[in-house]
Amino acid sequence: MAKSKVVSLEEALENVHDGQTVMIPGFVNVGVPELLIKGLIDKGITGINVISNNTSIKGRGIGLLVHDHLIKHLTCSHIGSNTETVEQVVAGDIDVTFVPQGTLCERVRAGGAGIGGVLTPTGLGTPIADGKQIINVDGKDYLLETALRGDVAFIHAWKADKMGNVVYHRTAQNFNKIWATAADWVIVEAEEIVEVGELDPDLIMTPGALVDQVVLIK
């Protein structure tokens, strides 16, 4: 049997460095990898570029990275739930790129699939289209939205086995499944780790082939 991918939090974060692009899933604070976020803060990582749907709320999840001024650039769909994010964007402390939620998911999905991007009509005639290529297909215009990938992805799982096969819990799946496909290094934090073979293969949502390391949430 292949070597177990279960490691300590400290070992998992050895491959995370200043200035990297970190993919962090979660909807507000559901399915957010809070253990890995706190570990990143404790390690003193700064100047990161974050790809996430939102920045949670003040004092929770990604909001902790905002509070400690660790984010340099943010690619997201929404920041309004976190007043500290709004303040830092207005002050110029965080550079933000807004992407419609569906487009954000498809750009990350493209990054995971190894294709250059996707065509979408969303954003035509708005500031979202500024500087982007418009492609006409069968008489209809589309924006070319390029693929997104990260250096590292932090993933939150309900259960994982020792080879990194993952099951998410209900809506906590949200962006985790897609984000896990689109990073060079994928770290899973799991609420429970089981032996290989204990997970029903038909229920596995992210295969272990995509996962590099697994950390138990304690």
What is the percentage of the chain residues whose pLDDT exceeds 90? 97
Structure tokens at 98: 């807004």
Q: Give, in degrees to the nearest 5, the angle at Cα 177 between 17 and 101.
A: 90
Q: Cα torsion at 60, 170, 35, 207 (round to 10°)?
A: -140
DSSP string, 12-24: HGGG--TT-EEE-
Average pLDDT, the chain: 97
φ/ψ (deg, to 5) at 57? -130, 165
Amino acid code (one letter) for 147:
A
Q: Look up residue 140 and give its two tokens.
A: 């209809």
The C-alpha atoms of residue 38 and residue 150 are separated, in whole angstroms, by 19
The H or E element containing residue 39 is: helix 34-43
Whole-number pLDDT of residue 207: 98
Spatial contact of 31 and 168, defined as CB atoms under 8 Å apart: yes
- pLDDT per residue as tens digits for the range 116-166: 999 999 999 999 999 999 999 999 999 999 999 999 999 999 999 999 999
Checking if the pLDDT of 1 tops 70, the result is no
Residue 187 binned pLDDT confidence (cut-offs 50, 70, 90): very high
Contact 109, 181 (CB under 8 A): yes
| Separation CA 145–CA 110 (nearest Å) | 10
Distance CA 89, CA 67 (A): 12
Q: Where are the domains of the chain?
A: 9-115+147-216
Tokens of 100: 């419609």
Q: What is the mean pLDDT of residues 52-65?
A: 95
Task: Report the alpha-carbon distance of residue 36 to residue 213 in Å, rounded.
Answer: 12
What is the number of other CB atoms lying within 10 angstroms of the CB of residue 61?
Answer: 25
Report the length, in residues, of the chain: 218
pTM flag (> 0.85) = yes
What is the pLDDT, as a whole number, of residue 2?
74
Distances (CA, A) of 67 to 86, 93, 102, 109, 146: 11, 11, 27, 29, 30
Q: What is the CATH number of domain 9-115+147-216?
A: 3.40.1080.10
